[in-house]
Amino acid sequence: MIELQGIPVSPGVAIGPALVLDADGYRIPRCLVAAEDAAGEFARLTTAVDAVSARLETNRLETSAVAGANTGDIFAAQLQMLHDPRLHAELGRRIQEDFQSSAYAVSRVLNNYATALRRLDNPLLADRAEDVLDIEKQLLLELGAVSRQPLSDLTEPVIVLSHVLTPSETAGLDRRYVRGFCTETGGPGGHTAIVAKGLELPAVVGIGPFLDAIGSAAHVIVDGDRGRVIIDPDAATLEHYQLRLQQRQSLTARLAELKDLPAETSDGLRIQLSANIEFPQEAHACLERGADGIGLYRTEFLYLSSADEPSEEDHYEAYSQVVREMDGRPVVIRTLDLGADKMGHRPLVEQEHNPFLGLRSIRLSLRNLDLFRPQLRAILRAAVHGDIRVMFPLITTIVELRQARMLLNVVAEDLSESGIPYRSDIPVGMMVEVPAAVVMLDHFVREVDFFSIGTNDLAQYTLAVDRSNEYVADLYQSCDPAVLRLIARSIEVADANDTPIAVCGEMSSNPARALLLIGLGVRNLSVPPSTLHRVKKAIRSVTMEQCQQIAERVMKFQTARDVDLYLLDRLGDLVPELVLK
Ligand code: PEP
Ligand code: MG
């Protein structure tokens, strides 16, 4: 049994067989061979090496003839690597002494080489890493070992173990078979984490290197509540987690009974409890769970999940589906928030040194009007079907907000001139997720109809901590007092101007933090659909006065740790059912 600790990003427990992905998403499960077959396995590798070697030599000759000897030398260098005696010794040891399959040995050894080269931080050597991975692929193909099947071709339940999973890869996981996942990299606030929550997949990220230690046919437990991953659990551990799984399932069933009850404190304060979605299909689950509306529709996932760049019609169809499904309830459509960890089809941005401080979100939309206009047209067109509101992300300056609003007006005029049905009188809001916006909120408040606080980015930019970086995960705290002060100030300004303000960052999906936000004056929360019932349960278990007392006390603390410990303690007193043992 191996116990690993990572960052819990999506709650729940999952148990199942491991599916190990290599860096490129190939499926190379760790397989062992019987001791008596090891020599034959090594011979298979030698044949594969010969075949790849012959192909590289042909490539070298042909390329040299066409493009000159310098270009042909690329293959000469690959040949040299392929015949490197240390490489052969390492492969031989793994296959003949550790009895690893040749494919698994190739995948591990060459990936390790490539990683070592990349770490040297030298662009020339980093290019060599690509050569190493190329050789890996060729050998795996020769061994008949790579299955180029996408993960969507699964037929049995698995727990995915991977070095990295991008938000779009995560979005592509087949929920019928993938029970959970864990990755070596990743941080607490990254979009991979958000998608995992959306899909209700227990997940742990930022574990550090561990894939090498995974045994053949490993069984895995993912504890998404505590960030633990257990490989090949012993009988007692397995029993413990099976019990946890049952307890969770029965709690989920009990909470589901709250579906048709309002999100109202026990002394009658009604809270608007909406849901965050990434895909139109999720709207159905939101309704099923009694959401008051969609408080955040992350529309960029239309880009991340489709093979081609979405057209205006694709946007229109998606938004119309959501707003029709929500049947008169408000739907807040956030315009594209591409960039940083969410890249679309075409390279909209050159490689940036600091992508989270770079050309992302509204900045990217305003500089790519051929991307932005179709989306705005589609939003205004879909608005004829229901209560659509538009929201701009990452607004930092008044100028950006004005530009975005102006474009919305221009697009409305175009639609009007073309005689296309649309609605232009929709509420326009902005996300409050950059400290500069909070500082200037008394000016912004005159130019928007509503605000929504994005605590994920607000914490990132206030604390100068990359939300998806595992090395600084401990510093990424949405309950840091500095973040809480910015939230409190935003609420104050909004209230003083009678402008609605919601919180749609992940902070509101934590029941104890939701109570704190209510105590600070928030009356509108938007949470992932999977957490709707928990948050509602917390709201229905307390009085307004209790929330205010929580807020009053919390605002006196100096550290995020003190805040979180106190909140957990209060939740234990007020809603013990929600505190997992
Ligand atoms: C946020 O930043 O809090 C937010 C809701 O937006 P996203 O997580 O998509 O950046
Ligand atoms: Mg954000």
Three-class DSSP category at 380: helix
Across the range 59-86, mean pLDDT stands at 75
Taking 90 as the threshold, does the pLDDT of residue 400 lie above it? Answer: yes
Task: Output the pLDDT for position 195.
Answer: 84
Complete DSSP assignment for 301-351: HHHHHSSS---HHHHHHHHHHHHHHTTTS-EEEEPP--BTTB--SS--S--
Q: Is 433 annotated in some ligand binding site? A: yes
Q: Are strands 501-503 and 2-5 parallel, antiparallel or unpaired?
A: unpaired
Taking 70 as the threshold, does the pLDDT of residue 258 lie above it? Answer: yes
Atom 6 in ligand 1: residue holding the nearest Cα: 454
Helices marked H in 390-506: 398-417, 435-439, 441-444, 455-463, 481-496
Assess whether the C-beta atom of 505 lies below 6 angstroms from ligand 1: yes
Higher pLDDT, 188 or 511: 511
Higher pLDDT, 322 or 580: 322
Give pLDDT tens digits for 334-385.
999 998 877 765 566 667 888 899 999 999 999 999 999 999 999 999 999 9
Taking 70 as the threshold, does the pLDDT of residue 150 lie above it? Answer: no
Taking 90 as the threshold, does the pLDDT of residue 273 lie above it? Answer: yes
Atom 4 in ligand 1: residue holding the nearest Cα: 454
Of 496, 542, 538, which is closest to residue 521 (Cα–Cα)? 496
Active-site residue, from 163, 182, 191, 315: 191
Q: Which ligand is nearest to the CA of 190?
A: 1
Q: Is 467 annotated in some ligand binding site? A: yes
Mean pLDDT across the chain, nearest whole number?
A: 90
Complete DSSP assignment for 186-234: --TTSHHHHHHHHHT--EEE---S-GGGPPTT-EEEEETTTTEEEES--
Task: Output the pLDDT for position 29.
Answer: 64
**What's the rounded Cα separation, in Å, for the pair 202 and 213?**
21
Taking 80 as the threshold, does the pLDDT of residue 126 lie above it? Answer: no
**What's the rounded Cα separation, in Å, for the pair 182 and 160?**
6
Lowest mean pLDDT among 75-89, 144-158, 203-217, 434-448: 144-158
Residue count of the chain: 581
Task: 206-209: list long-range contacts, CB under 8 Å, 24+ apart.
Answer: 206/6, 206/7, 206/470, 206/473, 207/4, 207/5, 207/6, 207/182, 207/183, 208/6, 208/184, 208/470, 209/184
Taking 90 as the threshold, does the pLDDT of residue 69 lie above it? Answer: no
- Going from the C-alpha of 486 to that of each of 434, 461, 563, the distances in angstroms are 10, 11, 15
Give pLDDT tens digits for 19-36.
888 655 555 667 788 888
Return the number of other C-beta atoms located less than 10 Å from residue 568's C-beta.
12
pTM: 0.76
Asked if residues 500 and 169 have their Cβ atoms less than 8 Å apart, the reply is no
Taking 90 as the threshold, does the pLDDT of residue 167 lie above it? Answer: no
Assess whether the C-beta atom of 111 lies below 6 angstroms from ligand 1: no
Give catalytic status of residue 191 as yes or no.
yes
**pLDDT tier for residue 189 given thresholds of 50, 70 and 90:** confident
Assess whether the C-beta atom of 504 lies below 6 angstroms from ligand 1: yes
Amino acid letter for position 557:
F
Q: Residues of the chain with pLDDT > 70: what percent?
A: 92
Give pLDDT tens digits for 524-545.
999 999 999 999 999 999 999 9
- Closest atom, ligand 1, to C-alpha of 455: 3
**pLDDT tier for residue 148 given thresholds of 50, 70 and 90:** very low
Amino acid letter for position 491:
I
Taking 90 as the threshold, does the pLDDT of residue 388 lie above it? Answer: yes
Q: Is 27 annotated in some ligand binding site? A: no
Q: Spell out the domains of the chain, with CATH numbers in brackets.
A: 2-22+149-253 (3.50.30.10), 35-142 (1.10.274.10), 299-426 (3.20.20.60), 428-581 (3.20.20.60)
Asked if residues 12 and 202 have their Cβ atoms less than 8 Å apart, the reply is yes
Lowest mean pLDDT among 252-266, 298-312, 399-413: 298-312
